Structure 1
Amino acid sequence: MDQIVSDILVTTHTPYPVIFARLCGAILLGGLIGIEREKRQRPAGLRTHILVSLASAILAVIAVESVHQTGLSGPEVRIDPIRVVEAVTAGVAFLAAGMIVFSKGEVKGLTTGAGMWLAGAAGLSIGFGLWLIAIFAALASLVVLFVLGKLEVALHWKEPEASFQDSAAEQRDKERR
């Protein structure tokens, strides 16, 4: 039983409170990015962005810890944490591509896909302990999504988005005809 407990409570290079703080940070920043998408009724919203960011942070923490594990050190073992970054990027790109739809001559979902990619990058940053980079990126994304979104409408580059209630009312009107 002691072996099982010691395997569960393995000693880490990064203290567990720091690891858990990083994971909570990834949840928070992924949530901030996801709230904007949720507000606009996009298919990938709050929960999706949190999960992408959290998963990315976990993979980054695992990469950091694997470099310091005694069982994985030695001349025959080569651990490259950058491969984790590549794997997360590929995985999130796969998810983001699923958000992009070409319909009626319009491409939709690009911004949501980019937000998922950014949530993954923020999670990786926090997982590697680069908090300030992740915080700056998340705040910058909110400026891009909120402020520039309003500017595009004000400059008449884009039409204001219909609210969820407006969309539902339009759908009911179509069904009546």
Structure 2
Amino acid sequence: MNLDQFIDNSHFLTQSEVNKFLWSTLLCGVIGAEREFRNKQAGLKTMIMIGLGSTLITILSVKIGVNSHDRIAANIVTGIGFLGAGVIFKDENRVSGLTTACVIWIVSALGMSVGAGYIEQAIGVTLVALLSLLFFPVVEEFFERRYTMRVYKIVKKYDGERLDIYEESLKKYKLKIKRGGQRLANGIISGTWIAIGSPKNHDFFVETMLQDENILEFDF
């Protein structure tokens, strides 16, 4: 292979590819900065690395996959799922990290879009994603001030009465409830409820339960 053939085979980094890497760094970095500001598991560096990696793989897929330009890049969609799963955690009755996992998926898609040359589409999605990440937490906080969900578990000695009195107490404080499982074993009865209401009403209920001497265990 002579020098002209080597150059024609596009082994060198072109200006177009440099621009793609710069765009990928910028767009993914903007989203990563938002994650970094909120102290999430995947922040600025992680998002930039994911975006650059997706961009490079997409470029290589177009260059190497002569008969099928999407052959290599298609595996990004599968592989990024394992990376996203690593930031999802389950803590008792709460799951965290779902939003960050979704952002990782979007950043990967942005890198692929830039690598394929669809920069305008990548810019548009970046703006929509960034606005969503900045705006929706405000909306969530607004609703949480009025409709907070908590899971309660009460354990007490069984004295012939069920836990209906505590269920009535939940209703008394205007909490909408969904009864979970109840269990009786060795003279101990326990029950769980999912309750939705204002934080103030939750606090009133918790304070009442903390003063109940018959309760052996109270999770809230």
Q: Same fold (TM over 0.5)?
A: yes
Task: Give the corresponding residue for 1:60.
Answer: 58
Instruction: Determine which structure has more spread, i.e. the larger CA radius of gyration.
Output: 2
Give the corresponding residue for 2:125.
137
Structure 1 length-normalised TM? 0.74
1:110 to 98, 102, 118: 98
Higher strand share: 2
| Partner residue, 2:72 | 84
Q: Determine if the alignment matches structure 1 residue 146 to structure 2 residue 134.
A: yes
State the match for 1:37 in structure 2: 35
Contact 2:59 2:115 in 1 (8 A): yes
**Equivalent-residue separation in structure 1 for 2:2 and 2:35 (angstroms):** 46
- CA distance in 2 between partners of 1:41 and 1:108 (Å): 13
Which of residues 19, 22, 41 is equivalent to 2:20?
A: 22
For the Cα contact (< 8 Å) 1:152–1:158, is it kept in 2?
no
Amino acid at match of 1:120: S
Output the CA distance in 2 between the equivalents of 1:65 and 1:158: 52
The runs of 4+ residues in structure 1 deviating greater than 6 Å are none
1:47 and 2:45 equivalent? yes
Cα pair distance change 1:14/1:151, threshold 3 Å: farther
Taking CA–CA contacts closer than 8 Å with sequence separation of 6 or more, which of the two structures ends up with the larger relative contact order? 1
Residues 106 and 80 of structure 1, relative CA distance in 2, 3 Å threshold: same
1:96-145 deviations in Å (ceiling 9; x for gaps): 00000111211110110100110000000000000011111111110111
Give the deviation of 1:85 after TM superposition: 3.5
* Deviation (angstroms), 1:83: 2.9
Instruction: Quote the Cα distance in structure 2 between the aligned partners of 1:103 and 1:84.
Output: 36
- What is the CA RMSD across the aligned residues, in angstroms? 2.8
Q: Secondary structure at the match of 1:99?
A: coil
Give the direction of change, closer, same or farther, for the CA distance of 1:155–1:63 in structure 2 (3 Å limit). Answer: same
Output the CA distance in 2 between the equivalents of 1:158 and 1:113: 24
In the TM superposition, residue 11 of structure 1 has moved relative to its aligned partner by 4.1
Q: Give me the identity figure in percent.
A: 29
* Between structures 1 and 2, the one with greater helix share: 1
Whether the aligned pair in 1 keeps the contact of 2:62 and 2:70 (CA below 8 Å) is no
Where structure 2 has 5 or more consecutive residues not aligned to the other structure, the ranges are 150-220
How do 1:120-131 residues align onto structure 2 when only pairs under 5 Å count? Answer: 120-131=108-119
For 2:148 and 2:112, the matched residues in 1 are separated by: 33
Q: How many residues align?
A: 147
Contact 2:32–2:45 (8 Å) recurs in 1? yes
Cα shift at 1:84:
3.0
In structure 2, the CA distance between the partners of 1:18 and 1:154, relative to structure 1 (3 Å rule), is: same
SS at 2:72's partner residue? helix
* Deviation larger for 46-55 or 149-158: 149-158
1:3 Cα deviation (Å)?
6.9
| Aligned pairs for 1:1-12 within 5 A | 11-12=9-10
